[in-house]
């Protein structure tokens, strides 16, 4: 049986490697944004470089997984779904990279009164993405547990929305000391941080439907 499974095992290793890569990307994102808000630009630059590397590896793995699944006819019935899911996960990685680059290019000024709540927003958004990954792993081994694992993704996504709403409201209703351009810029940056949890939710919706297909 080992001869028949050689290609399958290689693909499994690559999928696991891909998920690990996304996991690491989320961690680096969390730490990178935290360093920026705290003003540690050296650490931020190191994290930015790391995200760049991880994104390149994720792209390569994504392509290899797709190629192998087609070439060796792996999971023919669920291939489209799995490929789509991997694309959604890669979108999260792309989102992480683009958010960090926005910080690097635009150098947004985060008022000190918003520091703590911005870190909370970032944590919550990163948590949503992080909670998606155990559910993705469970899809391959225990699909009946996927939906309960996804509950945390939806919880953190909704928390992120609430925090983002609170911050935006504070900026536009209470912080009269900063000008409108600065406010608009902050809103734009918040939107970027928030986007990671939205991408996680899109992935969760797809995964949830995929799990139902497997169970029934």
Partner 1 sequence: MILFFLTSGLFLGWSLGANDASNVFASAVGSKMITFRRAAIIASLFVILGAVIQGAGASGTLGKLGSVNAIGGSFTVALAAAITVYMMTRLSLPVSTTQAIVGAIIGWNLFTGNRTDASTLTKIVTTWISGPVLGAIFAILLYMLIRRIKRKSGIHLIIFESYIKTGLIIVGAFGAYSLGANNIANVMGVFVPAFSLDDLNLGIFSLSSAQQLFLLGGLAIAAGILTYSKKVMETVGTGIISLSSEAALVVVLAQALVLFIFSSSSLSDLLVKAGLPRIPLVPVSSSQVIVGSVIGIGLYKGAGNINFRILGEIATGWISTPVIAGVLSFFSLFFVKNIFNIDIGTKVVETGLAETVSKPWNVSEVMKYVILAVIAAGIITVVYFYLLERKKKSEFRRSEQRFWKYIK
Chain residues binding partner 1 by CB under 8 A are 1, 4-5, 8-9, 11-12, 15, 60, 67, 71, 73-78, 139-144, 214
Q: Give residues with Cβ within 8 angstroms of 170, minimum separation 6.
A: 114, 117
Q: Can you give the C-alpha Rg of the chain in angstroms? A: 19
- Between 7 and 120, whose beta carbon lies closer to partner 1? 7
Query: Which CB atom, from 140 or from 172, has the smaller least distance to partner 1?
Result: 140
CA–CA separation, 211 and 119 (whole Å): 33
- Work out how close the CB of 95 gets to partner 1 at its nearest, in angstroms, rounded to a whole number: 21
The per-residue b/e assignment along 89-108, b for 16 or more CB within 10 angstroms, e otherwise, is bbbbbbbbbebbebbeeeeb
179, containing H or E segment: none
Q: Compute the least distance from the CB of residue 123 to partner 1, in Å.
A: 32
Cβ closer to partner 1: 5 or 53?
5
Contacts of 80 (CB under 8 A, 6+ apart): none
> How many residues are recorded in the chain?
216
Task: Tell me how far, at minimum, the Cβ of 210 lies from partner 1, in Å.
Answer: 10
Which tokens belong to 175? 């912080």
d(CA 180, CA 109): 13
Q: At what angle do helices 41-71 and 2-38 cross, to 10 degrees?
A: 160
> From the CB of 153, what's the least distance to partner 1, in Å?
20
Q: How far is the CB of 211 from partner 1 (least distance, A)?
A: 11
Q: Which is nearer to partner 1, 15 or 128 (CB)?
A: 15
Minimum CB distance to partner 1 smaller for 10 or for 152: 10
Dihedral of alpha carbons 65, 150, 29, 16, sign:
negative
Least separation, in Å, of the C-beta of 173 and partner 1? 48
Q: Which CB sits closer to partner 1, 9 or 38?
A: 9
């Amino acid at each position: 049986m080992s001869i028949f499974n050689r290609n399958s095992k290689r693909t499994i290793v690559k999928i696991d490697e891909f998920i690990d890569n996304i996991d690491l990307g989320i961690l680096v994102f969390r730490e990178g944004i935290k360093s920026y808000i705290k003003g540690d630009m050296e650490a931020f630059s190191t994290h930015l470089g790391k995200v760049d590397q991880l994104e390149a590896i994720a792209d390569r793995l994504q392509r290899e997984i797709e190629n192998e699944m087609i070439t060796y006819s792996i999971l023919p019935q669920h291939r489209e779904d799995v490929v789509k899911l991997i694309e959604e996960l890669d979108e999260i990685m792309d989102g992480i990279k683009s958010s960090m680059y926005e910080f690097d290019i635009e150098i947004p000024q985060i008022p000190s009164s918003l520091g703590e709540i911005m870190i909370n927003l970032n944590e919550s958004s990163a948590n949503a993405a992080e909670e998606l990954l155990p559910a993705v792993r469970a899809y391959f081994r225990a699909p009946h547990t996927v939906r309960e694992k996804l509950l945390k993704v939806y919880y953190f996504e909704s928390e992120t929305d609430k925090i983002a709403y609170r911050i935006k409201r504070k900026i536009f209703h209470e912080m009269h000391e900063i000008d409108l351009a600065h406010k608009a810029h902050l809103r734009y940056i918040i939107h970027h941080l928030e986007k990671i949890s939205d991408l996680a939710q899109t992935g969760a919706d797809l995964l949830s439907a995929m799990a139902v297909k497997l169970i029934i």
